Amino acid sequence: MKRALITGVTGQDGSYLAEFLLARPEYEVHGLVRRSSSLNRQRIDHLFRADASYRDRFFLHYADLADASCLSSIVERVRPDEVYNLGAQSHVRVSFDQPLYTADVVGLGALRLLEAARNLNRSHPVKFYQASSSEMFGSAPAPQGPNTPFHPRSPYACAKLYAHWQTINYREAYDLFACSGILFNHESPRRGESFVTRKVTLGAARIKEGLQKRLVMGNLDAKRDWGFAGDYVRAMWLMLQQDKPDDFIVATGETHSIHELLEKAFSLVDLDYREFVEFDPRYVRPSEVDVLQGDATRAREVLGWKPEVTFDGLIEMMVEHDLELARREKHAQAFPGR
């Protein structure tokens, strides 16, 4: 059996990656979860229920990226062959409100896990994946590729860049099989509700069903290279299956504005977004990343990776999912107790 350890397993990517690895019978998957006063495992619940055979191959451990001793003891105990560091305070706008916490969890958290992996690597070979971000490119002009200089524009992006360089340094200094995946935005029906794609698809669906009257948004001129999270976790895995560790950009190569996202999502429910969207400066960032558009040529050539889901297909998938959610919410309101 191959043993994989995933931080951030309760998040969007962690849940898709756990699903992807468990679908391969040779994997045993260990996920790190945070203790919270209410359970937040909706994205992975089905992996315990749907197929009883996963129960013997899927294990959860309480941990926090802020707690080095607990990370070390779990890594020593599990002795993973592959570590995927996906845990993060991943909201860019929130990182301006919580810069020190974000730096601790995103930046030092990665270093704590790298140290644990380096110790294990002395007696057991381990491969390490770091979830780096296109946010690290910040204000660098699009398209961003392997030779584009980084210019981070948020506490989150600065912390990711620190973790990115630490990952490279552990590869060069200690010969650790450490890879950094610079992933551009990737979304899904499991995307957190405060990220822009999900806010829009959920908003359009709830307005359509009469559950919400307006959608309050920030900067609609920003452009992003949006792909499907299910496609992107495959790229993470492929990086760790290569003969040599390296860093890769993962992106679709297309970019769309928030206006285009709104147009697409609202037209799917036969509404005109201009009638419902309002501006609120609370959603504007102190420094913005205007345009992201990635050049994933190396991922295509070396990993043989390419995205399967298009921008239109992604938004259709999300709107369809959120319409179903909104209809269930409406039904529950009409027939409480059922």
11/143 with CB nearer ligand NAP: 11
* Nearest by Cα to 102 from 15, 161, 180: 161
- Classified as helix, coil or strand, 301 is helix
Decide if 301 is catalytic: no
Distance of CA 17 to the CA centre of its chain: 10
Q: How far apart, in whole angstroms, are the C-alpha atoms of residue 121 and residue 326?
A: 48
Q: Are 220 and 158 in contact (CB under 8 A)?
A: no
* Strand 256-257 with 223-224, pairing: antiparallel
Rule CB under 6 A: which of 25-84 touch ligand G4F? Answer: none
Can you tell me which of 153, 186, 256, 264 binds ligand NAP, judged by CB under 6 A?
186
Contacting residue, 64, 246, 263, 316, with ligand NAP by CB under 6 A: 64
Strand 248-250 versus strand 223-224 pairing type? unpaired
Among 16, 156, 170, 232, the one annotated catalytic: 156
> Phi/psi class of residue 8: alpha, beta or left (left: φ > 0; alpha: ψ in -120 to 50)?
left
Residue 234 in the binding site for ligand NAP (CB under 6 A): no
* Token pair 């697409």: residue: 264
What CA–CA distance (Å, rounded) separates 54 from 11?
19
131 sits near ligand NAP (criterion: CB under 6 A): yes
Could you say whether residue 217 binds ligand NAP (CB under 6 A)? Answer: no
From the list 3, 4, 5, 10, which residue makes contact with ligand NAP (rule: CB under 6 A)? 10
- Check residue 283 for interaction with ligand G4F (CB under 6 A): yes
Q: Tokens in use for 190?
A: 């499991």
**Out of 15, 90, 133, 154, which one is annotated catalytic?**
133
Question: Binding of ligand NAP at residue 164 (CB under 6 A)?
Answer: no
Q: How many residues bind ligand G4F (CB under 6 A)?
A: 22
Structure tokens at 67: 């707690």
DSSP secondary structure of 65-78:
TT-HHHHHHHHHHH
Using rule CB under 6 A, residue 7 touches ligand NAP = yes
Find which of ligand G4F, ligand NAP, none residue 252 binds, CB within 5 to 8 Å per kind.
none
Piece in contact with ligand G4F (CB under 6 A), picked from 106-114, 132-140, 145-153, 202-210: 132-140
Q: Are strands 277-279 and 215-217 parallel, antiparallel or unpaired?
A: parallel
Q: Segment near ligand NAP (CB under 6 A), from 52-60, 84-92, 239-247, 254-262?
A: 84-92
Nearer to ligand NAP, 86 or 262 (CB): 86
Residue range at the interface with ligand NAP (CB under 6 A); choices 3-11, 165-173, 202-210, 212-220: 3-11
Query: Are the CB atoms for 16 and 44 separated by under 8 Å?
Result: no
How many Cα atoms within 13 Å fall on the side-chain side of residue 133? 31
Binding part of the chain for ligand NAP, among 44-52, 146-154, 182-190, 328-336 by CB under 6 A, reads: 182-190
Which residues fall within 8 angstroms of residue 99, CB to CB, at 6 or more apart? 155
> What letter does residue 275 receive in the DSSP assignment?
G
Active-site residue, 133 included: yes
Q: Decide if residue 113 touches ligand NAP (CB under 6 A).
A: no
- Among residues 95, 121, 167, 185, which is the contact residue for ligand NAP, using CB under 6 A? 185
Give residues 169-198 in contact with ligand G4F (rule: CB under 6 A): 184-185, 194-196
Q: Which does 92 bind (CB under 5 to 8 A by kind): ligand G4F, ligand NAP, none?
A: ligand G4F
Give me 197's structure tokens. Answer: 């794609």
DSSP conformation letters of 168-190: HHHHHHH--EEEEEEEPPEE-TT
- The residues binding ligand G4F (CB under 6 A) are 90, 92-93, 133-135, 184-185, 194-196, 199, 217-219, 222, 224, 258, 283, 285, 288, 292
- The residues binding ligand NAP (CB under 6 A) are 7-8, 10-14, 32, 34, 36, 40, 64-66, 86-90, 105, 131, 133, 183, 185-186, 192
Active site residues: 133, 135, 156
